[in-house]
Amino acid sequence: MSLHATTSQTVGPYLHIGLTWLSIEKLALAGVPGERISIEGRILDGDGEPVNDALVEIWQADSRGIYGGKRFRGFGRSATDGDGRFRFQTIKPGRVPGTDGKMQAPHIGVIVFMRGQLKHLVSRVYFPGEPANANDPVLALVPAKRRGTLIAKKRGKAGALEWNVILQGKDETVFFDS
Amino acid sequence: MPRITEYRRPAAGTQPDYLFPRYASTVKRAPTQPLVLLPHTQTELTGPVFGYGEVKRSDHDLTKQHAGDPIGERIIVSGRVLDENGRPVPNTLVEIWQANSAGRYPHRIDQHDAPTDPNFTGAGRCLTDKRGNYRFVTIRPGAYPWRNHYNAWRPAHIHFSLFGQAMVQRLVTQMYFPGDPLLAEDPMFNCVPDERARQRLISTLDWETTIPEIALGYRFDVVLRGPEETPMENRKGDKR
């Protein structure tokens, strides 16, 4: 049997009604092993205006590189505020294998929904100063001058990272066709 | 069972592009640079699992969330969640949200001059059963105006969000109602060229789930992406 996937439609402006009942901005409970990190960022549209009606979902492995572990599910969901800002507190994921069995650099999968998009965006967050980035098979597919858009920046205190979603323009974030 | 290597890519004309100027808000929000084709690694082939704990068993009934009954035509919305290979997707989270029967959302930015309903929030969720079935009890939503173009009205619709079993199956869509004359003019409904793909967004009146004297049933099956089933060794050009 061969069917076609249902056509994607926008979440629209009223997404909060249906989706923010499940808000998960703190992914790691006390006692979950791993390096504590926070990731904060803003979503900006083609005019540089904040996108205040978006929803960001993240999906990541635990510190050992295991997805969907008992103590750490690894799923987060944050709606942007009036300033277009989303935020997560989590742990740095371990490395997971790529398609050829070689290990990928630590990364977090990202999905973004918003009014004005008929289907969601797919991106990834990588970590600054991570030697494994140089050999990551997915980063290698991205034009070198745009790779930086996928790598978070260190901010202030230890473990604090910033990663923005720039929808258009010269600093446009890399989005994937997944 | 063959090891999943990739999920199927969409058939031509069945999924929207980001830029679709008839839907005006896409213009400043669509990526302008080419997308990078993402291989499906563990990150893409896995996804979160939800359970009754987070989801309450009564969350499927949108007519029982307040002290009184909501105003409107009570309906049953049900169907199956399948993948492209026709396999049911069990135990997956389905979230819905919708306007009330007057076409109004209880949301701070909804300024439509229509009444809110103190007995209707318009949000529900459930998990599919072993066979991929889901079921909601709700009221039929109303049409409402939006400012996309002059005299623009959204056809009655219910928003659906589904996870599936892998992040590449994640889907947000909208369910429409049969025979709605507003569909022909709606940019969102008409965002893909494939006529059959559009028709699949329209639910069907379903006598089987209709409860006599109580509520009409509408059926809406959702298909999530399915894994490629061609074994690796038969794939052309694959030297492994």
* CATH assignment at residue A98: 2.60.130.10
The confidence score (pLDDT) of residue A2 equals 87
Spatial contact of B144 and B106, defined as CB atoms under 8 Å apart: no
- CB B15 to CB A113 under 8 A? no
Residues of B in contact with A173 (CB under 8 A): 31
The confidence score (pLDDT) of residue B68 equals 98
Regions in chain A scoring below 70 on pLDDT: 1
Q: Quote the ipTM score.
A: 0.97
Spatial contact of B232 and B240, defined as CB atoms under 8 Å apart: yes
- Burial (CB < 10 A; 0-12, 13-18, 19+), residue A137, is middle
Q: What mean pLDDT is reported for chain B? A: 94
Percent of chain B with pLDDT over 70: 94
B66 is known as an active-site residue: no
The residue from B60, B80, B140, B154 that is catalytic is: B154
Half-sphere exposure of A150 (CA within 13 A, CB side): 29
3-state SS assignment for residue B235: coil
- Burial (CB < 10 A; 0-12, 13-18, 19+), residue A27, is buried
Confidence of residue B179 (pLDDT cuts 50, 70, 90): very high
Render pLDDT for B102-158 as a digit per residue (tens, 0 to 9). 999 999 999 999 999 999 999 999 999 999 999 999 999 999 999 999 999 999 999
The confidence score (pLDDT) of residue B5 equals 81
Position B62 pLDDT exceeds 80: yes
What percentage of chain A's residues is helix, strand, coil (to nearest 5)? Answer: 10, 30, 55
Render pLDDT for B1-33 as a digit per residue (tens, 0 to 9). 446 689 999 999 999 999 999 999 999 999 999
Confidence of residue B237 (pLDDT cuts 50, 70, 90): very low
Confidence of residue B234 (pLDDT cuts 50, 70, 90): very low
B147 near A CB under 8 A: no
Domains of chain A: total: 1
Rg (CA), chain A: 16
Distance CA B65, CA B121 (A): 8
The confidence score (pLDDT) of residue A13 equals 97
Distance CA B117, CA B97 (A): 15
Q: Which residue has the higher pLDDT, A110 or B235?
A: A110
The confidence score (pLDDT) of residue B162 equals 98
Q: How many CB pairs under 8 A join A and B?
A: 227
Query: Is A7 contained in some domain?
Result: no
Question: Which tokens is B236 given?
Answer: 């052309």
Residues of A in contact with B8 (CB under 8 A): 5
Residue closest to B96 by CA, chosen among B143, B161, B48, B144: B161
Show me where the domains of chain B are located. Answer: 53-228
Instruction: Collect all residues with Cβ–Cβ distance below 8 Å to B108 and sequence separation of at least 6.
Output: none
Residues of B in contact with A174 (CB under 8 A): 33, 36
Structural domain of A52:
15-166
The confidence score (pLDDT) of residue B240 equals 40
Question: Which tokens is A145 given?
Answer: 């001058």
Distance CA B166, CA B152 (A): 36
Render pLDDT for B26-41 as a digit per residue (tens, 0 to 9). 999 999 999 999 999 9
- CB A4 to CB B105 under 8 A? no
Query: Is A2 contained in some domain?
Result: no
Query: Is A75 contained in some domain?
Result: yes
The confidence score (pLDDT) of residue A1 equals 65
When the candidates are 3.40.50.10470, 2.60.130.10, 2.40.50.140, 3.40.50.1820, the CATH number that belongs to B53-228 is 2.60.130.10
The confidence score (pLDDT) of residue B4 equals 65
3-state SS assignment for residue A97: strand
